[in-house]
Amino acid sequence: MAEFTMELNDEQKEVRDWLHGFAADVIRPAAAEWDEREETPWPVIQEAAKVGIYSLDFYAQQYFDQTGLGIPMAMEELFWGDAGIALSIVGTGLAAVGVLANGTEEQIGTWVPQMYGDANDVKLAAFCSSEPDAGSDVASMRTRAVYDEAKDEWVINGTKTWATNGGIANVHVVVAVVDAELGSKGHASFIVPPNTPGLSQGQKFKKHGIRASHTAEVILDNVRVPGSCLLGGKAKLDERLARARERAKAGGERVKNAAMATFEASRPAVGAMAVGTARAAYEVALDYAMTREQFGRPIIDNQGVAFQLAEMRTQIDAARLLVWRASWMAINGKPFTAAEGSMSKLFASETSKKVTAQAIQILGGNGYTREYPVERMHRDSAIYTIFEGTSEIQRLVIARTLSGMPIR
């Protein structure tokens, strides 16, 4: 087990500086254009693939870094560049993690490379769980997967929504109900291979922020996938369902399990994205406050402005520490006895929204225009308190974990 450290090692510093260079030289200059276009920034993703940032190797290297700092460091730098473009670059990784975490070795070897393609033929992946009537309330999911034993195929029907890269991805990972009586314990994840008949893109959403990231509905109409596309395999699913049925018979789930290890492990990554956006806005605001003069002196000369910046930086650093702690706990298998992953996501996302709003205030009228990036950063930061569990859901998970009570 790696000791918890707040210091990046030399190798990590090198990677961080390389990512920062890409974020500063390639992502940030393209941010305003792709925000306006509201389209997937293919040329930037291709460039990221060419230099090795958009690749399974790079993602896996950071994901398995035993210090736990690889992913948060990478997310912070890329999202510092621009949240919409960065989400287009890392969106595939979020789907790939579903396969890395639950797939068999064969599934990982077959599908994850197809999620990325290569530098000359870039591909994307999408993770589809949310539905129109099942957002925070995952247990009310309706998409069904039924096993056709004669053909060893699963037949999937339903409508997914809010899927990042949904419909334009090469590979879709779809969560579906296999046993409706077990609530969220009766769900399973499936790979939908490229060009599978029955899968189509529904509405593409026009969004408030992260507009360079494609978000759409995914329609599944009698989608047939081979048995081998069930993540983890049928034997493992049957075992898991049998255990869940036993537990349900014995009196249902205990509230003790409120902090689910998978979510606790993935939420710090979203926290790190939020830290990246917050840091970017803070830096713009600090620079502006040092150079903008009113009343014959830089505006930072006023405590009213300087104290805001002091507060912003303090909150950003606190957010990063929570994120790093939770990431270290995740990779080292530490139990999340206080829902530390949810804590990190809650604090970092709320910080990002607050800090980017303060940045607009410090830039005055300029902050309110698209001539300066803080307006976009503020719009972008609003997503962090919504996806991967809203702030209210994080508070619910933390409170349930701390108290053991079925708080509603």
Chain contacts with ligand FAD (rule: CB under 6 A): 127-130, 135-136, 162-164, 207, 210, 215, 383, 386-388, 390, 392-393, 396
CB nearer ligand FAD, residue 154 or residue 387: 387
Query: Based on CB atoms, which residue is closest to ligand FAD, 210 or 259?
Result: 210
Of residues 5 and 203, the one with the C-beta less far from ligand FAD = 203
3-state secondary structure the chain: CCCCCCCCCHHHHHHHHHHHHHHHHHHHHHHHHHHHHCCCCHHHHHHHHHHCCCCHHHHHHHHCCCCCCHHHHHHHHHHHHCHHHHHHHHHHHHHHHHHHHHCCHHHHHHHHHHHHEECCEECCEEEECCECCECCCHHHCCCEEEEEHHHCEEEEEEEEEEEECCCCCCEEEEEEECCHHHHHHHEEEEEECCCCCCEEEEEECCCCCCCCCCEEEEEEEEEEEEHHHECCCHHHHHHHHHHHHHHHHCCCCCHHHHCCHHHHHHHHHHHHHHHHHHHHHHHHHHHHHHHCEECCEEHHHCHHHHHHHHHHHHHHHHHHHHHHHHHHHHHCCCCCCCCHHHHHHHHHHHHHHHHHHHHHHHHHHHHCCCCCCHHHHHHHHHHHHCCCCCHHHHHHHHHHHHHCCCCC
Question: Of these residues, 7, 340, 388, 392, which one is catalytic?
Answer: 388
**Which one, 12 or 349, has the nearer CB to ligand FAD?**
349
Closer CB to ligand FAD, residue 162 or residue 328? Answer: 162
Our answer to whether residue 246 is catalytic in this structure is: no
Residue nearest to ligand FAD (CB): 135
Residues that are catalytic: 388
